[in-house]
A and B are shown apart, each in its own frame.
Chain A
Amino acid sequence: MTEPVVPMVKAEGVRKSFGAHRVLRGIDLEVAPGEVTCLIGRSGSGKTTFLRCINHLEKISGGRLSVDGELVGYRQRGDKVYELHDRDIARKRAEIGMVFQRFNLFPHMTALQNVVEAPVRVKKEPRASVVERAAALLERVGLGGRASFYPSQLSGGQQQRVAIARALAMQPKLLLFDEPTSALDPELVGEVLDVMRGLAADGMTMVVVTHEMGFAREVGDNLVFMDGGVIVESGAPREVLSNPTDERLRTFLSKVL
């Protein structure tokens, strides 16, 4: 267990406040490469905020947060820490994929254009090879025949699968999911979870904020229960779900299971 692997995500005492409201009160967490970590907890427990801190959509107010060994949003030289330029923050974000609760596909672009946009414009890859890869990705998420459809012509589940393909097109080293199935009709949840299951099997490092306990139990390597801005309990999903020790987790599980 002591091999010198750099954790993909490492949080040490991460704090975040919105004005006087303290949303995160000291999060310590490590995510190893290739691992799937599921964050669960009531709404308002800070799990989405923590996820957004990982790619610097939110700026942390205290503690230390690094991705793949590099600080998020800052650069350390000696014992001094410097704020990063927007350009460098953008470059780091490009290595982290994110999938949103409300898909956030670009409505003025077709499914294929959504997937192609960032690799061509941000990473400056040649369009022809990106289009080929994008078509293969859409095929992989089961939407090979929908490449020329606009988001408004797709169901929620299909839109979310395009969003996953869009994130994958950047060939990220880490994928963040913010309640990816919460905005979907129940019968469409399965198709998105299937795609995520496939990604986990391929060894993608993922941090997933979710309410899908079945998915967390089956696919997750690590389950983290948050409440009131701190991690209350964490460990192997089966262990945590079958033997919850904390009262708050027991109450939470009695409501969602």
Chain B
Amino acid sequence: MNLQINDLHVFYGKIEAIKGISITVNQGEIVTLIGANGAGKTTMLKTVSGLRPVGSGSIIFDGQDISKVSAHERVELGISQAPEGRGIFPGMTVLENLEIGKYFRKNRKAEMNEDLENVYNLFPRLKERSGQAGGTLSGGEQQMLAIGRALMARPKLLLLDEPSMGLAPMMIQNIFRIITEINRTGTTILLVEQNAQQALQRAHRAYVLETGKVVKEAKASDLLNDPAVRAAYLGTGAAEGHH
């Protein structure tokens, strides 16, 4: 697994949201994109998963340029996304939401029980709720379902869009612990987060995005101690002396 994005430009009408971004994600890594609202983080993920068309530049996945490949075919190539706002199908049960995560798999029948078991092991809460409609879950449970559903496709690369959004601090800890666990079993992860503290603690490498450009690229642990990053994204730069 290797993802290479070269000089990517993405437009919403005439507005350029991504202005020439190049990033690399290597096998086994957790790479995170951090940045403020409107930096282009979600647009980056949507472009990798195929929901937004590429303006110019290229997205190379496992040696193949996928910038013209449609979203549903990218899932078959091994890219799965837990989308912004979780994107649970509210009228389907938890089990149906998980089942549809395998929609395209040729031997889905044979894989189903094994993969459901894996997801239920990661998120025991989902097993308890399996007959309940997705729309009735709490925010944290929906996030678990979104991640679990993406895993049902057996992705090589998992895209996570703001998994901490709107969750209680305990739940955020829980979700990030599980993200690390998923990564340890061999799934590469590209993570977009506003909660830079958590994201930088869990990731191997990080890119800082500002208004559609990469302004900094480094090991996550280095950025965690970078005074400029602390001031801008961790909200602790100026207050550091008081600790």
Q: Tell me, yes or no, whether A binds B.
A: no
